Homo-oligomer: A and B are copies of this chain.
Amino acid sequence: MTEKISEAELVVMEALWETAPQTANDVSDRVAADRGWSLQTVKTLLSRLMAKDIIAADQDGRRFLYRPMVARDDYVAGESGRLVNRLFGGRVSPLVAQLAQQDQLTADDIAELEAILKGLKS
């Protein structure tokens, strides 16, 4: 059971999932655009992620190269499962029904869902 990733930490994780390994500066630059965080803030987040064993760092000269220890897919799987359990009693179809009602389903989504279902039935 990996520890919880906070909202701000997740932003850092997305940067690391996109490219790894990266230095603190790399991450900061990548993230600064949207969030306007200082370099220090990003470093703190990296430290916290290290403390939670969600990322690791390899020394490279006198700085560190950070890389994820948790795959994005695994994280996403955990979060999705948690949501489905918390709000839909573990059932997936009500979730989709919910999203369908919100018009969050694009035509592409519908086509892909059909493909997924077809695959499952085989």
Chain A residues with a Cβ under 8 A of chain B: 10, 73, 76-77, 79-81, 83-84, 86-88, 90-93, 95-102, 104-106, 108-110, 112-114, 116-117, 119-121
A interface majority secondary structure: helix
Asked if B79 and A93 make an inter-chain contact with CB atoms under 8 angstroms apart, the answer reads no
Number of copies of chain A assembled together: 2
Knowing A10-B86, A117-B110 are in contact, say whether A76-B105 is a contact too (CB < 8 A).
no
Asked if B91 and A80 make an inter-chain contact with CB atoms under 8 angstroms apart, the answer reads no
A119: chain B residues at CB < 8 Å are 100
Asked if A100 and B116 make an inter-chain contact with CB atoms under 8 angstroms apart, the answer reads yes
Asked if B83 and A109 make an inter-chain contact with CB atoms under 8 angstroms apart, the answer reads no
